[in-house]
């Protein structure tokens, strides 16, 4: 599918240079690969966040208290 996007002159120049290094005339393939990478990374981020949310509250109270105490002690030593 053809579409129009707005990019800077510098981005266009870099895209054309990258395409030329790959022996391609245009940069459509690079844009497609970049979009695939972006969508995969976004899906990975969502999955990591969902996994993180699932473990919220799974620390037992005594362990949570110890962890908080240790973190506070460590933070004091950073200063």
- Per 3-state DSSP, the chain is made up of helix, strand and coil in percentages (nearest 5) of 75, 0, 25
Q: Which residues have a Cβ under 8 Å from the Cβ of 24 and sit 6 or more positions away? A: 30
Question: Domain-by-domain residue ranges, the chain?
Answer: 9-78
Q: What is the pLDDT of residues 4-60, one digit of tens each?
A: 999 999 999 999 999 999 999 999 999 999 999 999 999 999 999 999 888 877 778
Q: Is 22 helix (H, G, I), strand (E, B) or coil?
A: coil
Q: pLDDT at position 25, please?
A: 93
Q: Which two tokens stand for residue 40?
A: 């995969």
Rounded CA-CA distance 79/69 in Å is: 17
pTM of the entire predicted model = 0.62
């Amino acid at each position: 599918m053809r579409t129009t996007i707005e990019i800077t002159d510098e981005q266009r120049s870099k895209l054309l240079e990258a395409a030329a290094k790959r022996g391609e005339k245009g940069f459509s393939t690079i844009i497609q690969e970049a979009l695939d990478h972006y969508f995969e990374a976004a899906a990975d981020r969502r999955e990591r966040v969902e996994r993180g949310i699932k473990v919220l509250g799974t620390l037992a109270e005594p362990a949570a208290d110890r962890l908080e105490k240790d973190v506070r002690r460590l933070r004091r030593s950073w200063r």
